[in-house]
Amino acid sequence: MKYMLSALLLTLFFSCNSNAQKKNSNDSKAFPITKTEAEWKTELTPEQFYVLRESGTERPFSSPLDKNFKKGIYVCAACETPLFKSEHKFDSGTGWPSFDRVIAGNVAFGTDNDLGYSRNEEHCATCGGHLGHVFNDGPQETTGKRHCINGAALKFIPES
């Protein structure tokens, strides 16, 4: 029994690679804006680089954008591509900024299997920066989608 438990724990340990241990899966894809890792590092904060370029995840409830409900637009922190409108933001209670829809054409989607199951991953369609994931547990009165986005991947531009 001890042997089986040890084998199971070792298997889990080696199979559960976090996003922080992997390079962005979009590194090999061509995007309209491409830069070297060194260029991104000079333009982004360490947290932005971790999230956008290494597919990391910020701590829940750490972004001031989570509770921001001012009118405006949310753009990619790396390239300023408009991604989400403030009128589509809602409080999901998850600790990350959440939206029920994207600005069409500005967000690219892929599959993320890093946790041992498939999730729908979101990237900026212009620079390939990792934004977060989309789930089917959003507001049913609108799209039913919850775009769960890292605040570090976003900049907020208030409506003037």
Which residue numbers are catalytic? 148
Q: Which residues pair with 98 in a beta bridge?
A: 90, 148
Per the listing, tokens 């989400």 go with 84
Q: Tell me the three state secondary structure of residue 51.
A: helix
3-state DSSP assignment of residue 108? strand
Instruction: Choose among 25, 128, 27: nearest CA to 76.
Output: 128
CA-nearest of 142, 134, 131 to 74 is 131
Tokens at residue 101, please? 């829809």
Q: Please give the Cα distance from 151 to 137 (Å, whole number).
A: 19
The residue assigned the tokens 């830069």 is 35
